[in-house]
Amino acid sequence: MIISSASSNAQFAQIYWTKYLQPRRKTFAIVIERAKARNEISTDLDSDLVFDTMSGIMLYALIFQPTSDSWTTYVRRALNLLFRNA
């Protein structure tokens, strides 16, 4: 699993960060900036923190299936909570 490999192999973690996570964070930041420009979300929203939080929610739901809800339903509920005051 990626988490296990990244936690025990610094070189793998760096490659995964550079090749996979960073490009997605940058793209996500563009989406957040556009939403800010349209006044859909707060202008002080931290896109990196939101990305990390969303990633954590999705990873947790994939591994533990915390409710009887489908993965999609659980993640949407969690993200609605996250963005409620955004």
Query: In the chain, what are the helix, strand and coil shares in percent, each to the nearest 5?
Result: 75, 0, 25
Written as tens digits, the pLDDT of the chain (86 aa) is: 777 788 888 999 999 999 999 999 999 999 999 999 999 988 999 999 999 998 988 888 888 888 888 989 998 898 888 877 66
Q: Residues 70, 29, 86, 46: is their CA dihedral positive or negative?
A: positive
Structural domains in the chain, CATH included, are 2-83 (1.10.357.10)
Q: What are phi and psi of 38, to 5 degrees?
A: -90, 5
Tokens of 48: 């990196």
Dihedral of the alpha carbons of 52, 4, 58, 39, in degrees to the nearest 10:
10
| Report field, pTM of the whole predicted structure over 0.85 | no
